Amino acid sequence: MKEKVFGFENDIASWDKVEFIKEVSVYLEKINNTSQDKAMVLMLAEAIDTFVVATAELNKQGLVVVHSNGVSGKNHYFEIRDKALSKIVILMTELGLTPKRRKPFPSKREEVLDAFMKGPTYFAEFKASQTNSELTKLDLI
């Protein structure tokens, strides 16, 4: 997986919703061993899309605008962006994409123990799939 997931940190116009959905779906399927999060990933992408559009409009129009009745006031895109951001954080937390909710990657020792607990056939296959340097480490365990 590429290091850059969102892809619009410095240029809001470079946001690519389709690429985001692909990357996050692959990541979640790899981590969770299921593709059942697809609907939530689509909702997250929509919320980010709303955030991107609102941010682009805020960048064009500014935080204070003159409304149709001639009165200056807060740009409505600010509120839209704020609500989208709240939804993004909620969805990312639910999907385990925030640092606090992220599942830790298992250590090599945990992988070995897991393979061992699944039985001798699985453990033999696991051992066969490791590189020479990893095998040396496995033999010590």
Measure the CA–CA gap between 129 and 123, rounded to whole angstroms.
10
The model's pLDDT over 82-130, given as tens digits with 9 standing for 90+, comes to: 999 999 999 998 888 887 766 666 566 667 777 777 777 777 777 777 7
The model's pLDDT over 2-24, given as tens digits with 9 standing for 90+, comes to: 444 455 566 777 888 899 899 98
Report residue 33: phi and psi, to 5°: 55, 35
H-helix or E-strand containing 65? strand 64-66
pTM over 0.85: no
